[in-house]
Amino acid sequence: MKDEKPEENRTITKRSPVTGEVLGEFAVCSERQVRQVVAKARAAFRPWADAGLKHRLAAMDRVKNVILQNAEQYARRISDDTGKPLFDSLITELVSVPLFLDHYRKKARKILAPRKIPTPIVFQHKKSYLEFFPMGVIGIISPWNFPFQLSVIPMISALIGGNTVVLKPSEITPITGEIIREMFSEARMPEGVVEVVQGDGSTGSALVNSDVDKIFFTGSVATGRKVMEAAASRPIPVELELGGKDAMIICSDANLERAAKAAVWGGLLNAGQMCISVERIFAVEQIHDHFVELLQSEVQRLKLGGPQEDADMGPITFSRQMDTIIRHINDAKSSGAKIITGGHQADRPGTFFAPTILADVTVDMEIYREETFGPVLPVIKVKDEDEAIRLANDHKYGLNASVWSADLKRGRRLASRLECGQVMVNDVVSSVSNPALPFGGIKNSGIGRYHGPDGLLAFMHSKAIMVDPGKVKHEPFWFPYAGKYDDALQAFRALVQGRLLGVIGPLKRMNKINRHHG
Ligand code: NAD
């Protein structure tokens, strides 16, 4: 992907990942156009921020209604853009936005409200408060795998707090970028509050280098690094939602039928092109062989096909991703992994890859260390769950994970030991759709959190305020210092020892010295 300056008058040709036919040409936004659009968003910021939360939530209700009215049309076009089944476009792309909007309609006022904060006794008579104010213009850069929800959820989160937004959708899925532009326009958002700049990496780079106040980036680690580096020069805050290599740990007492179905859905949903895809299955040795058999029978039932074929699994959306999948599988094979099923491109037109199960996967293989982003389930045999936890944590990614056990206390204990942003016990993936739970990664999986209260606060500055009634002339700690040291020491000791009343006497005496000096 290009990240040099975007030239004027370039276009992106969008092809169907199912048939290869050309679906449209999309103009690439130049650096000059990005600057103009950001200036428009800057001009719209103050009126939008000052319009108040009620006004903004009413606008969000209009967005929700537009989604409801257009759900079928949007699902079809998102599926044309990505190749994913219509069911996935509806459930994993469209449904989550109204869920989040409903949640924030109920919670935003409380999350964003100014709050009273405790004040230590040494600051007698003062009161402390915390309040939040919007950052300004937020640049949002999104990927192609869930191009609707990974753009719209950060957008609405930023908008609710009073920010304006410029979205740079992925060049691989420009049709969805247009849907988002139309959706906000149909919801009658004021001019400049929501802008969409189509283009590739060069447009993304122009956005990061423009007059935005924060960048919210979802994509690969390599691009995330570039975004952070560019943002450092101003400097502006960045939030990075990056890749994963999610562990699924199957204990011997797990419901294996359920776990196998979950592994297949969690690993092959959206043809495995998902940051929180199941990508490392740790099965303890007692149940390993039986579990692999169950996986195999589940995978054999899957139907591959395009959105018109009522299939379970669609094509690889971004054709270059195919090279990574094939490279990882070849490396695994030559290093001793066993292909249980699949392992090759599907025998049909379009960029389809057969759903694949790999057994005997070991930690030195590329398929274990790197994100594959394809329909592959690598299984690793472990002695026990302690070994699984140790291996799961000994990895550069830390996004999502799941643990499987009939003993829920044990499940929770294991979940607590995992180093990542979120864990499910006896389920996969779905926690990302609970709007009340924060989402994000650690290590190479990213920096920052959104969703839940963090989702709104990610786009707000906090401001600390302390108020004194302003009636007395002096503070005990102000000049002059002469004659106050012993009392200050006494106050310090009382404070550190938790004898709070012991602080009051020395403070009074220090104030008396102040008065004496006029
Ligand atoms: P990518 O990094 O190639 O592109 C992401 C976006 O960045 C695109 O819009 C692209 O045009 C833009 N971009 C490219 N170069 C840029 C630059 N120099 N400056 C600014 N923007 C630039 O990623 P992708 O292939 O679209 O997405 C797949 C990756 O995203 C995977 O690694 C996946 O795990 C990750 N992902 C993470 C999450 C999450 O929430 N953690 C969710 C989905 C996908």
One digit per residue, the tens of pLDDT, for the chain of length 518 reads: 445 566 678 999 999 999 999 999 999 999 999 999 999 999 999 999 999 999 999 999 999 999 999 999 999 999 999 999 999 999 999 999 999 999 999 999 999 999 999 999 999 899 999 999 999 999 999 999 999 999 999 999 999 999 999 999 999 999 999 999 999 999 999 999 999 999 999 999 999 999 999 999 999 999 999 999 999 999 999 999 999 999 999 999 999 999 999 999 999 999 999 999 999 999 999 999 999 999 999 999 999 999 999 999 999 999 889 999 999 999 999 999 999 999 999 999 999 999 999 999 999 999 999 999 999 999 999 999 999 999 999 999 999 999 999 999 999 999 999 999 999 999 999 999 999 999 999 999 999 999 999 999 999 999 999 999 999 999 999 999 999 999 999 999 999 999 999 999 999 999 999 988 87
| 420 assigned to active site | no
In the reported structure, the alpha carbon of residue 218 is separated from the centroid of ligand 1 by a whole-number distance in angstroms of 5
d(Cα 125, Cα 130) in Å, to the nearest integer?
17
Q: Considering only CA atoms, which of 194, 81, 181 is closest in space to residue 138?
A: 194
In the reported structure, the alpha carbon of residue 240 is separated from the centroid of ligand 1 by a whole-number distance in angstroms of 10
Name beta bridge partners: 313: 304
Q: Considering only CA atoms, which of 205, 197, 286 is closest in space to residue 250?
A: 286
Name beta bridge partners: 314: none
For tokens 């010295």, the residue is 513
In the reported structure, the alpha carbon of residue 172 is separated from the centroid of ligand 1 by a whole-number distance in angstroms of 11
With a CB cutoff of 8 Å and minimum separation 6, the contacts of 155 are 140, 165, 167, 180, 194
**Ligand 1 atom nearest 219 alpha carbon:** 30
CB-CB neighbours of 486 under 10 Å: 11
Angle at 270 between CA 351 and CA 416, to 5 degrees: 140
Ligand 1 neighbours, Cβ below 6 Å, are 1, 3, 141-145, 150, 168, 170-171, 200-201, 204-205, 208, 218-220, 223, 226-227, 241-244, 275, 371, 373, 399, 441, 446
**Which structure tokens are listed for 205?**
């780079």
DSSP 352: -
**Which structure tokens are listed for 70?**
């257009």
Query: Ligand 1 pocket: which of 142, 166, 220 to mutate (most atoms <8 Å of CB)?
Result: 220
In the reported structure, the alpha carbon of residue 93 is separated from the centroid of ligand 1 by a whole-number distance in angstroms of 17
Q: How far is CA 315 from CA 19, 81, 187, 270, in A?
A: 10, 11, 32, 8
Query: Ligand 1 pocket: which of 12, 166, 168, 170 to mutate (most atoms <8 Å of CB)?
Result: 170
Name beta bridge partners: 423: 401
Q: Is the pTM of this model over 0.85?
A: yes
**Which structure tokens are listed for 311?**
């299939």
Q: Which of 29, 251, 275, 420 is catalytic?
A: 275
- Torsion from C-alpha of 141, 144, 148, 151, nearest 10 degrees: -10
